[in-house]
Structure formats: C-alpha cells, structure tokens
Amino acid sequence: MTTFVHPGTNANHFLDAAIDLEVESSPEFATILSLYGVQHIMSETSESEVTDLGSELPSDTHLVTFRFTDGAVSADAVRAHTKSDIFDAYSDSGATVVSIQSGFGSIRPNVFNNQTKEKKS
C-alpha cells in the first residue's frame, strides 16, 4: 500500500479507512424520486396521452421531458409539490431535464389520494 504523508496534520490515520471504502452503486431511479417527494405515475408517455387521460389524473400532474446520458429522449408523468423537486430528482438520477409542463389532470389531489387508497384495499 502507498503511504501518503500530510506534514503538519493528523489526517494520516484517516487515509487507510478512506482507501478501503468500497464505492456503492448508485441508487435506483424510484429511490431517488421518492427522496424528493416525487411520485411517478407513467413512464414513456406523451403530452397527448396525458391530456387524453386528464379526467383520471390529479391536477398536480407534471409532464417531464428528459434526456438520458446516451441521448435518448423520454417523457414521464409525475406528481410533486414543486417543479424544483422534479428537476433535482431527475438531475440526481443522471438525466438532463428538457422541460417540465403542468396543467394536466382534473381530479383534486386529496380526492385522488383517497381513490388510490380505496383501490389498494
């Protein structure tokens, strides 16, 4: 093992621990979204599909258009309190956000939450 000496500091005893750290794999996409309070509704959708399903979606639905690292462009329908939460979640997952559109859905969010709870029971 290579020894580094930091003159004038006591950081040398931390070096062995830092070298032995394993690199953890990045968290899954769903985990990152949940950390920011973003609820994923639909994957690989389009504006026309979200508009057509507007009567079944909550009014806080956002359409996120984003680009993967390989250049492919996709769109998801998500729920979140703010657009900045959506932007941060997608950016931290490695995607580049192209646009975030809102104004989809017609169901009040609290009524939509109650409907989903009843369906799960």
2, pLDDT greater than 60: no
* pLDDT at position 28: 86
Neighbours of 1 (CB within 10 A): 7
In a domain, 78, yes or no: yes
Q: What is the pLDDT of residue 61?
A: 94
- 103 torsion bin: left (phi>0), alpha (psi -120 to 50), beta (else): left
pLDDT attached to residue 112:
84
Residue 32 lies in a domain: yes
Where does the pLDDT of residue 68 fall: very low under 50, low under 70, confident under 90, or very high at 90 and above?
Answer: confident
Q: Is residue 20 a part of any domain in this protein?
A: no
Query: Mean pLDDT over residues 73-90, rounded?
Result: 94
Task: Identify the domain containing residue 54 by its residue range.
Answer: 25-107
For the chain, give the mean pLDDT.
81
User: What is the phi/psi pair of residue 86, to 5°?
Assistant: -65, -50
pTM, whole model, 2 decimals? 0.71
| Residue 6 within any structural domain of the chain | no
In a domain, 87, yes or no: yes
62: in domain: yes
